[in-house]
Amino acid sequence: MKLENKIGLVTGAGRGIGKGCALELAHNGADLVINDRPGSPDIASTAKEIRAFGRSCTVIVKDVFSPVGREALVREAFESTDRIDFLVSNPAKNVRGSFLEFDPKDFERVIQCTLTSGFHLSQLVARQMVKRGAVGKIVFISSVHAEMPFANNTAYGAAKAGLNHMTCTIATELSQHRINVNAIEPGWIDTPGEWESYGKDALRQEGTRLPWGRLGTPRDIGKAVTFFVSDEADYITGVVMPVDGGYRFKDLRSET
């Protein structure tokens, strides 16, 4: 129960990586405020699973892709509890397409949803942490796309690369307030979104080709997040950590 007496805010917690983080945090003793988009069919189920661990859980449904939604989320989160000890910032949107044909409006949308949303959310939460004179933790969910130039992913890669640099810059500024700021780069993770894109059978086959012999799970990411928001990571800030089972070097291995 390394997170007992800790209270956190997790965005995008309805399913996938956000849900995996929320459940692992609750499993380790954290009480949570969780968020997903309006109309989410999944957030109530996540809350039920969190409460099954004996943890408190407040659900706030807001669109974190919009400034108004982000402001309302953070305001209501701090109204619902006396403090927020950590933020897991998980907004992201991807639109794939050829660079030569890519619509600039789609580029701007991906940047806004993935990079700007992370900036604004962390700023709003950090302001409240500083106002209260409290130490805190911020963890951004980035991606190996930040380092690997995948074709047809110009906007998403740029957004995640910007998120990595932003992590280090914010960490530099907030160190005087003892607010740790780090990021995690998931590799290929077995999530409902990936099922919809590739199909479960294809995913299982691709997983066997990775260095670790399987795709990552949302819980793998949740374990890393749990470490970063725990007291065990007190002396770690400004770090971008891949959690990818070796995905970054999957094509660099010897055949013998």
Q: Greatest CA separation found in the chain? A: 59
Please say whether the beta carbons of 114 and 91 come within 8 A: yes
Least Cα distance to 142 among 193, 96, 192, 91 occurs for 91
How far is the C-alpha of 67 from the C-alpha of 61, rounded, in Å? Answer: 14
How far is the C-alpha of 8 from the C-alpha of 151, rounded, in Å? Answer: 36
Q: Is 98 designated active site?
A: no
Q: Which of 137, 143, 223, 230 is catalytic?
A: 143
Please say whether the beta carbons of 166 and 180 come within 8 A: no
Q: Is 156 designated active site?
A: yes
Q: Which of 62, 160, 223, 230 is catalytic?
A: 160
Q: Which of 117, 156, 223, 230 is catalytic?
A: 156
State the DSSP H helix or E strand holding residue 182, giving kind and residue range, or none if neither.
Answer: strand 179-186
Q: Is 247 designated active site?
A: no
How far is the C-alpha of 206 from the C-alpha of 109, rounded, in Å? Answer: 30
Q: Which residues are catalytic?
A: 143, 156, 160
